[in-house]
Amino acid sequence: MTDTRQRSFEDNDQKPMGFGRMLRKEDPRFVRGRGRYTDDVQLPGMLHLAILRSPFAHARIVSVDTSAAAALPEVKAVITGADLAGLGLAWMPTLSGDVQAVLATDKVRFQGQEVAFVVATDRYVARDALELIDVEYDVLDPVIDVRQALAEGAPLIRDDLDGKTDNHCFDWETGDAGATAAVFAKADVVVSQDLVYPRVHPAPMETCGSVADFDPVEGRLKLWSTTQAPHAHRTLYAMVAGIPEHKIQVISPDLGGGFGNKVPIYPGYVCSIVGSIVTGKPVKWMEDRSENLISTGFARDYIMRGEIAATRDGKILAIRTNVLADHGAFNGTAAPVKYPAGFFGVFTGSYDIEAAYCSMTAVYTNKAPGGVAYACSFRITEAVYLVERIVDCLAYELDMDPAALRLKNFIQPDQFPYMSKTGWEYDSGDYEPTMRLAMELAGYDELRKEQAEKRTRGELMGIGISFFTEAVGAGPRKHMDILGLGMADGCELRVHPTGKAVVRLSVQTQGQGHETTFAQIIAEEIGIAPADIDVVHGDTDNTPFGLGTYGSRSTPVSGAAAALVARKVRDKARLIASSMLEVSVADLEWEKGSFHVKGDPGTAVTIQDIAMRAHGAGDLPEGLEGGLEAQICYNPSNLTYPHGAYICVVDVDPGTAVVKVRRFIAVDDCGTRINPMIIEGQVHGGLTDGVGMALMEMISFDEDGNCLGASLMDYLIPTALEVPDWETGFTVTPSPHHPIGAKGVGESATVGSPPAIVNAVVDALKPYGVRHADMPLTPSRVWDAMRGTAQPP
């Protein structure tokens, strides 16, 4: 559905009074090097903290001798797990209700685990002092292969948990096993495929860190930290450390990317707090790149079996999957409590089917805590990969065009709101126009002709499609909470006497441009220019409570809160305008930025006039308080379900098996578009991420549990050289329950692009009889696929 109103937003100039293209308000500070990140925080007398990490994946700690390190004059404290145990702080809850060691006391359970820390007068001395700590380990057999974690006699990793006798983390299922089996039994065609979504790392440009400043006189803690969820972190610190919540201020300053990596609470944050309490000085902890890559939240790590049942003419009937999920040594996932497998339940994708079923087993292994939602709404990336790959496997078996197969099976516009077979209510969607637009932009038929011709010459060209539906905007409080904290978001708006405004958000930007787009939402609703609206975020003392930014939830939840708080202010402004113009409220007409008497535009009072009257001298209407401000806590009634159609064109060199992404067409539908320029930026970044995951990125381990992706020399991430010029388009299907019809978009491209790229590579290899190859599709993997010698990763 094309929304004509939307077209006019697209055409706006660089200074829209509301939605439209607009340069980012925050960029002047970033391009001038004036961003203020956690590592820029310098406090008088500040000390520096370094963490000693385990060289082993699994080992018992026999003894820790810190005396030589403690003897250095510049060293102010050396703390071990035993010290923390004495304070009751050796273990902390994770956001998924597991417990994780802050510093190991009994055993180390992954290579890189935190064992002790040093606080010293500078970063270099602190690091050197780590060398002087003598730890005696009794090395144990590690569990590295996830398939072996539940085998008879596998070493027990979590013997800290009462009654634990195996490496089970959790079991989970969704859908209807019986109904799905019945549909599979009657289907003409059943295709099954094993798929691996390898362990990858979000690898934000800025690593994690914190500066803790505990004031023993006031009993007050000020913590700057690289967090995507300052309010949730503050509550947890209060619960764990016993510092009253009102005495904790968490500040999340500028963040150099998050991508889910900055959602969990890491031991380093807690260590910096302990360090500051113990020394009485501010203490800074900042990871280096390797520490970030080996010890902080990983993503994916799913081994999936996908099965799809269909009629011979390509009607998809059912999808079934079984998943083995590697959660590492501690379950570090941050997912709503009721959803231990995140939103993987949307694995039925964009298709109208009769039945679906998923069973999942999650296990512990001797690897760093895993399962963070890396640029996706809680496991949607894995779900989309599963369905979009398995649909392509079906197309292969039916010898059917993958675009035609998808078009034949889409949920139809009149079926929305659509209840999926796993219980997700898709709010709105109109899939065929999005798909057709992508095909038109790609020149799909021409591409197929070109491919056929190239195949006659032995050239390997592939065209891959992915069509995704996401579920973003967690979430309705009745279904969603993290450790008991409901996922609603607060928002506060104040209009100052001169008509300038400040909006305070509970979400926290990590580069997505919130300072611009949230000002645009307010501008759209009350007609104050975005330049005149200050956006405050990332400081628990100065913003209302809310659960933070991840899973593309900011626009669906806080964006809605911003629109509604502005409407509350506008409602009050209307009452004041009626008294100023001496007419009844019913006789007033709103035109963005002013009220006038119906039929008489010359009588207008602007929002600025009203703001001055709200704060100034003179009477206000009976019973109305002065000031022009409002506060709201928004509890979304549903998630929003953005969708998109992606088409990737690759060339594979038959001699070297190197994949070149030649073209990529991305058509996204995120409902009402607030700032198309920012959306394009989000999509470009996500597509680049997708190239990384599909072709380059994997954190692997050797049999002893040594992490083989501990630096960016080994863990490849994409650069501008590996990606094409992105070709983007859009359709607009507003969300019916969101006040401005917007859906999230920040992660659509990361979610949607890997299957398109893999489908393209597999399509290129069709002449070799290849139906599937696992990511990352490095030249050696592609080479093996061509020769039929691929091993499961």
- Sorted by sequence, the CB contacts under 8 Å of residue 178 that are 6+ apart come out as none
Considering only residues 553-572, where is the footprint of ligand CDP by CB under 6 A?
553-555
- Helix 748-764 crosses helix 676-695 at what angle (to 10 degrees)? 40
471 near ligand CDP, rule: CB under 6 A: no
Structure tokens at 393: 């496997």
**Cα Rg of the chain (Å, integer):** 27
Q: Does 679 bind ligand CDP (CB under 6 A)?
A: yes
Q: Angle between the 380-398 and 748-764 helix axes, to the nearest 10 degrees?
A: 30
Residue 281 sits in the site that holds ligand CDP (CB under 6 A): no
Contact of 383 with 343, CB cutoff 8 Å? yes
Piece in contact with ligand CDP (CB under 6 A), picked from 383-391, 589-597, 719-727, 744-752:
744-752
Token pair listed for 684: 């470009």
What the block records as the tokens of 649 is: 């064109």
Q: Which stretch binds ligand CDP (CB under 6 A): 25-33, 455-463, 512-520, 529-537?
A: 512-520
Q: For residue 202, report the phi and psi dihedrals to the nearest 5 degrees.
A: -65, -30
Q: Report d(CA 471, CA 744) in Å as an integer.
A: 9
Site membership for ligand CDP, residue 21 (CB under 6 A): no
Whole-angstrom Cα distance, residue 402 to residue 420? 22
Does 514 engage in binding with ligand CDP (CB under 6 A)?
yes
Of residues 549 and 731, the one with the C-beta less far from ligand CDP: 549
Judged by CB under 6 A, the residue of 746, 752, 755, 776 near ligand CDP is 746
Pick the closer one to ligand CDP by CB: 69 or 505.
505
Which residue has the closest beta carbon to ligand CDP?
746
745 belongs to the binding site for ligand CDP (CB under 6 A): yes
- C-alpha distances in Å from residue 744, one per residue of 466, 487, 641: 18, 15, 8
Q: Is 321 in the site for ligand CDP (CB under 6 A)?
A: no
62 phi-psi bin (left φ>0, alpha ψ -120 to 50, beta other): alpha
Candidate residues 260, 462, 527, 671; the one interacting with ligand CDP per rule CB under 6 A: 671
Amino acid identity of 481? D
The CB-of-547 to ligand CDP minimum distance in angstroms stands at 11
When asked if residue 742 is in the footprint of ligand CDP (CB under 6 A), the reply is yes
Q: Is 19 helix (H, G, I), strand (E, B) or coil?
A: coil
Name the segment binding ligand CDP (CB under 6 A); options: 84-92, 293-301, 355-363, 676-684.
676-684
Question: CA angle 455-459-460, nearest 5°?
Answer: 90
Between CA 471 and CA 743 the distance in angstroms is 9
Considering only CA atoms, which of 711, 74, 54 is closest in space to residue 366? 54
The binder of ligand CDP chosen from 512, 540, 543, 759 (CB under 6 A)? 512
Contact, 262 vs 208, CB < 8 A?
yes
Contact with ligand CDP (CB under 6 A) among 675, 688, 728, 753: 675
Is residue 728 part of the contact set for ligand CDP (CB under 6 A)? no
Residue closer to ligand CDP (CB basis): 232 or 678:
678
Q: Is 95 one of the binding residues for ligand CDP (CB under 6 A)?
A: no
Q: Which of residues 515-534 bind ligand CDP (CB under 6 A)?
A: 517
* Residue 744 makes contact with ligand CDP by CB under 6 A: yes
338 contact partners, CB below 8 Å, separation of at least 6: 479, 480
Q: Which residues contact 449 (CB under 8 A, 6 or more apart)?
A: none
Q: For residue 714, what are its two tokens?
A: 């080994």
Interface residue with ligand CDP, options 420, 469, 552, 608 (CB under 6 A): 552
* The one segment of 156-164, 478-486, 497-505, 742-750 that binds ligand CDP by CB under 6 A: 742-750
DSSP for residue 707: B
Longest dimension (CA), the chain: 85
Q: Does 511 bind ligand CDP (CB under 6 A)?
A: no
The distance of closest approach from Cβ of residue 378 to ligand CDP in the complex, given in angstroms and rounded to an integer, is 13
Number of residues that bind ligand CDP (CB under 6 A): 23
Residue 674 interacting with ligand CDP (CB under 6 A): yes
The tokens describing 709, both together, are: 């992706």
Report helix, strand or coil for 275.
helix
Tokens at 763, concatenated: 């399509």
- My answer on whether omega of the bond before 306 falls inside 30° of 0, hence cis, is no
Q: By C-beta, is 112 or 513 nearer to ligand CDP?
A: 513
CA distance 403 to 410: 11
Cβ-based nearer residue to ligand CDP, 594 or 750: 750
Burial class (CB in 10 A: 0-12, 13-18, 19+), 217: exposed
Which residue among 463, 678, 756, 765 contacts ligand CDP (CB under 6 A)? 678
Classify strands 220-225 and 107-108 as parallel, antiparallel or unpaired. Answer: unpaired
Q: Which is nearer to ligand CDP, 110 or 339 (CB)?
A: 339
Among 345, 499, 513, 754, binds ligand CDP (CB under 6 A): 513
Note whether 673 binds ligand CDP by CB under 6 A: yes
Query: Which is closer to ligand CDP, CB of 26 or CB of 307?
Result: 26
Whichever of 208 and 317 has its CB closer to ligand CDP, that residue is 208
Q: Is 442 in the site for ligand CDP (CB under 6 A)?
A: no
CB of residue 514 vs ligand CDP: minimum separation in angstroms? 5
Q: Which part of the chain contacts ligand CDP (CB under 6 A), choosing from 181-189, 359-367, 384-392, 670-678?
A: 670-678
Give the binding range for ligand CDP (CB under 6 A) out of 366-374, 528-536, 712-720, 737-745.
Answer: 737-745
Per CB under 6 A, 332 contacts ligand CDP: no
* Segment lying near ligand CDP (by CB under 6 A), choices 122-130, 302-310, 513-521, 765-773: 513-521
Residue 195: alpha-carbon gap to chain centroid: 22
Q: Kindly tell me which of 402 and 690 has the beta carbon lying closer to ligand CDP.
A: 690
Tokens of 348: 């039925």
Among 80, 276, 549, 753, binds ligand CDP (CB under 6 A): 549
In DSSP terms, 504 is beta-bridged to 492, 536
Measured from the CB of residue 439, what is the shortest distance to ligand CDP in angstroms? Answer: 23
Counting contacts by CB under 6 A, is residue 451 touching ligand CDP? no
Distance CA 113, CA 90 (A): 13
- Point out which span in 336-344, 620-628, 665-673, 777-785 binds ligand CDP (CB under 6 A): 665-673
CB-wise, 605 or 670, nearer to ligand CDP?
A: 670
The amino acid present at 51, given as its one-letter code, is: I
**Phi, psi dihedrals of residue 777, rounded to the nearest 5°:** -85, 70
The answer to whether 111 contacts ligand CDP (rule: CB under 6 A) is no
Residue with the two structure tokens 């939240």? 297
638/190 Cα distance (integer angstroms): 34
Nearer to ligand CDP, 18 or 349 (CB): 18
The residues that touch ligand CDP, with contacts defined as CB under 6 A, are 512-514, 517, 549, 552-555, 670-675, 678-679, 682, 742-746
